[in-house]
C-alpha cells in the first residue's frame, strides 16, 4: 500500500508541474522571494537535500521532513543576500511532535530591503524621506509518518508584498513526501512540490493618478486608476536521493543528488555531501548546475556552496542542544550569500 501511495503521489505532482509551465516562460512569474532559502544547513547544500531535510528547515524545501524530528525545534535565521546589495532575510520557525506519528510547524520570513530614497518627478534627487518594501510570509504545516518509512506533509503559506500605498496578497501550498529504507535508514528518497497557489495582483491608491478632464472647456482634475498585470507563483518540483555510509557509531558520511524542475525557469541538477562527527559537528558542500543555460540568462546560484554546523549539548543526557549553522553560496554577481542560523532542539 505504501509503494502505491508513493507512486501515486509522484505521478500527480509530476503531472501538475509539467502542466504548469516550461523554461520558455522564464522570468514571467512573480514573488521571487519564495525561492530564497533563509536556513543555513540546507543553504550549504544549495537547497538540494530534498530527501534528508528535517525539522524547521523542511518547511522551505520538503515539508514532509518536519515529521522526522523526535521532539521540538526552534530556529532563527539571518541571511545577507547577495553580499554587496542591501538585501537580507530574517526568519523564524518552530516544529513540534504531535502524537506518535504527527508533527506541526509554522514559519515566518521577512525580506529586508534596507532604506530606499523616495524620489518624485519634481524631486528626482530625493525628497529626504525613505521607504522599505514589506515582503512577509507565514507558513503553517503538518506532516504524518507511516511506520517510520514514509512521511507525507502539506504546508499552507500566505504571501504579502506591500509598499505604503500598493500591495498584493496571495496563498500557496507546498506538498512533500520522504521515504527511508535500509538497516540504519541509509537510503532516502524525497519529492516535493512547492509554490502552487493563487495568482497575485498589485492594487491600491498608488496605482491611481490625476489627469485633466477630457472636456476642453472644463478645467478640473479626475482620478484614473490603473490595473496591474496578474502574475503567477514560481512553482517547482524537487526530486532527491541520498545514502548514508557509516564509518562507525560516531561518524557517518552522506552523499546526495537532486533534480529541480522549474515551471518558470530552466531545470537544475546537482549533488553534495555531508560528514557528521560525534553528533556534534557537521561539514557539508555541494555543486549545482543549470541545464541548457545560455549566456546572459544564467541562474545567480550556479556553482559551489558549503557550510558547517556545531551542536552544543545543554544537558548531560544530550536531549537539549543549541546549534549554530553557517553557509556560504557563490553567486554569479555580487560577492555571494551568507546564511547564519541559531537552533534549539529539545
Q: What integer is the mean pLDDT of 268-277?
A: 96
Are 299 and 272 within 8 A, CB to CB?
no
Closest CA relative to residue 26, chosen from 323, 296, 216 = 296
121 half-sphere exposure, CB direction, 13 A CA radius: 0
Phi, then psi, of 265 in degrees rounded to 5: -160, 175
Q: How far apart are CA 209 and CA 224, in angstroms?
A: 5
pLDDT in tens, 120-137: 888 888 888 888 899 999
Who's near 31: CB < 8 A, 6+ residues apart? Answer: 159, 161, 170, 195, 200, 231, 233, 234
Residue 19 has pLDDT above 50, yes or no: no
Domain boundaries along the sequence of the chain: 2-204+235-345
- Tell me the pLDDT band of 21, cut-offs 50, 70 and 90: very low
- Tell me the pLDDT band of 295, cut-offs 50, 70 and 90: low
Q: What integer is the mean pLDDT of 272-289?
A: 95
Pairing of strands 134-146, 102-112: antiparallel
Pairing of strands 221-225, 102-112: unpaired
277 three-class SS: strand
pLDDT in tens, 58-99: 999 999 999 999 899 999 999 999 998 889 999 999 999 999
Could you write out the DSSP letters of every residue in 139-167? EEEEEEEETTTEEEEEEEEEEEEE-SS-E
pLDDT in tens, 249-259: 899 999 999 99
Q: Is 274 exposed, middle or buried (0-12, 13-18, 19+ CB in 10 A)?
A: buried
Residue 224 has pLDDT above 70, yes or no: yes
Pairing of strands 150-162, 167-181: antiparallel
- Tell me the pLDDT band of 216, cut-offs 50, 70 and 90: low
In CATH terms, is domain 2-204+235-345 a member of 2.40.160.60? yes
Amino acid at each position: 500500500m505504501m509503494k502505491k501511495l508513493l507512486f501515486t503521489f509522484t505521478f500527480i505532482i509530476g503531472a501538475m508541474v509539467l502542466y504548469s509551465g516550461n523554461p520558455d516562460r522564464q522570468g514571467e512569474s512573480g514573488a521571487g522571494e519564495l525561492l530564497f532559502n533563509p536556513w543555513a544547513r540546507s543553504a550549504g547544500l544549495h537547497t538540494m537535500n530534498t530527501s534528508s531535510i528535517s525539522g524547521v528547515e523542511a518547511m522551505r524545501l520538503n515539508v514532509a521532513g518536519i515529521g522526522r524530528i523526535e521532539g521540538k525545534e526552534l530556529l532563527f535565521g539571518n541571511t545577507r543576500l547577495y553580499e554587496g546589495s542591501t538585501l537580507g532575510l530574517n526568519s523564524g520557525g518552530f516544529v513540534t511532535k504531535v502524537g506518535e506519528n504527527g508533527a506541526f510547524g509554522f514559519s515566518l520570513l521577512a525580506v529586508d530591503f534596507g532604506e530606499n530614497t523616495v524620489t518624485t518627478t519634481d524631486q528626482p534627487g530625493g525628497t529626504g524621506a525613505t521607504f522599505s518594501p514589506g515582503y512577509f510570509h507565514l507558513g503553517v504545516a503538518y506532516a504524518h509518518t507511516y511506520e517510520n518509512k514514509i512521511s507525507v506533509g502539506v504546508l499552507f503559506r500566505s504571501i504579502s508584498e506591500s509598499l505604503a500605498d500598493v500591495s498584493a496578497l496571495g496563498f500557496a501550498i507546498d506538498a512533500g513526501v520522504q521515504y527511508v529504507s535500509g538497516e540504519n535508514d541509509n537510503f532516502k528518497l524525497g519529492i516535493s512540490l512547492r509554490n502552487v497557489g493563487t495568482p497575485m495582483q498589485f492594487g491600491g491608491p498608488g496605482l491611481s493618478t490625476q489627469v485633466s478632464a477630457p472636456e476642453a472647456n472644463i478645467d478640473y482634475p479626475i482620478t484614473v486608476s490603473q490595473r496591474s498585470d496578474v502574475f503567477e507563483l514560481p512553482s517547482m518540483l524537487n526530486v532527491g536521493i541520498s545514502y548514508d555510509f557509516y564509518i562507525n557509531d560516531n561518524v557517518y558520511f552522506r552523499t546526495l543528488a537532486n533534480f529541480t524542475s522549474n515551471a518558470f525557469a530552466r531545470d537544475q541538477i546537482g549533488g553534495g555531501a555531508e560528514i557528521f562527527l560525534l553528533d556534534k559537528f557537521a561539514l557539508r558542500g555541494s555543486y549545482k548546475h543549470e541545464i541548457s543555460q545560455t549566456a546572459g540568462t544564467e541562474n545567480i546560484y550556479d556553482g559551489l556552496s558549503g557550510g558547517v554546523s556545531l551542536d552544543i549539548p545543554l544537558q548531560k543526557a544530550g536531549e537539549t542542544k543549541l546549534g549554530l549553522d553557517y553557509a556560504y553560496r557563490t553567486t554569479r554577481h555580487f560577492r555571494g550569500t551568507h546564511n547564519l542560523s541559531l537552533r534549539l532542539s529539545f
